[in-house]
Amino acid sequence: MPSRILIIGACGQIGSELTTKLREINGIENVIASDINTRKLDLVNSGPFEIIDAKNFNAIKDCCKHYNIDTIYLMAALLSATGEKYPMEAWDLNMNSLFHVLNLAKGGTIKKVYWPSSIAVFGPTTPRELTPQHTICEPTTVYGITKQVGERWCEYYYKKYGVDVRGLRYPGIISHKAMPGGGTTDYAVEIYHEAIKTGKYECFLSENTNLPMMFMDDAIKATIDLMDAPSEDLTIRSSYNLAAISFTPKQIYESIKAHLPDFTMTYQPDFRQAIADSWPSSIDDSVARRDWNWQHRFDLDAMTKVMLKALRKKYHNLI
């Protein structure tokens, strides 16, 4: 029998593509999408959809009972850059939504939880190169603090109550289907759009800021692979390190310029530079590769080809 899945925050950058993929695998009627609004009408109209505030415990519980949900993917969050502007809102959403879902699992309403963490759990005291699974975590952003605390609660609920909770520390995610939602790595999405639309881009990070990144297809694959892995194979219940590629703004510029020779880029670092400087430049995800055979598929140049092809088609159709 297919899982009955609820995705909270389904209209977000990752949530929207995760919803589509899970519906392909499990059937449209078995994947209920939810968000606080209906801003992505294509997703709203493509299958079951409920308006749910992730901070509302009773709304989540009622939805789970109505649809007989057994698995929740909690994708709702305020990200790093937005969280610095609205710190209390970020804490409220990111933490209380997690408690609601963990407590539903603890009480037996649902059986399995997916909750994403981030490289934002790391900080300036973390080893920057090949950051290990177990290391110093002293985050400097509200978003990072919520993710660090959330990781500890996930492991606590697993050990104390047997909750089957799983998570990944996402790097920067790059996609042509959904616009980013207020993260420090957003430049790596915006740059492709502007390369096609205007032929130029002003980057809010300096040219040699090296950060871990990942193409959306790999992020979705990793998420589903982790959730499909046998419980007994998993050794991490906080969140697994996850990696694919690392690159700088200059390197992504050169990758795009190989296809668009007239493309130009300037640099005007803003407050997000300090956030980026506190994060690792590469991640050691050997535990994920050992435990559930994680393998990424896209390098920078392969990703650039897909991004430019898709965005050429998108903007050509809008003209």
303 contact partners, CB below 8 Å, separation of at least 6: 174, 215, 245
Active site residue 143: yes
Pairs from 233-236 (Cβ < 8 Å, separation ≥ 24): 233/291, 233/292, 234/166, 234/291, 234/292, 235/287, 235/291, 236/133, 236/287, 236/288, 236/291
- In which element (H, E) is residue 257 found? helix 249-257
Structure tokens at 63: 């939805």
63 within 8 A of 6, measured Cβ to Cβ:
yes
The single residue of 73, 114, 143, 253 carrying the catalytic annotation is 143
Structure tokens at 281: 């430049």
158 contact partners, CB below 8 Å, separation of at least 6: 164, 165, 237
Q: Which residues are catalytic?
A: 143
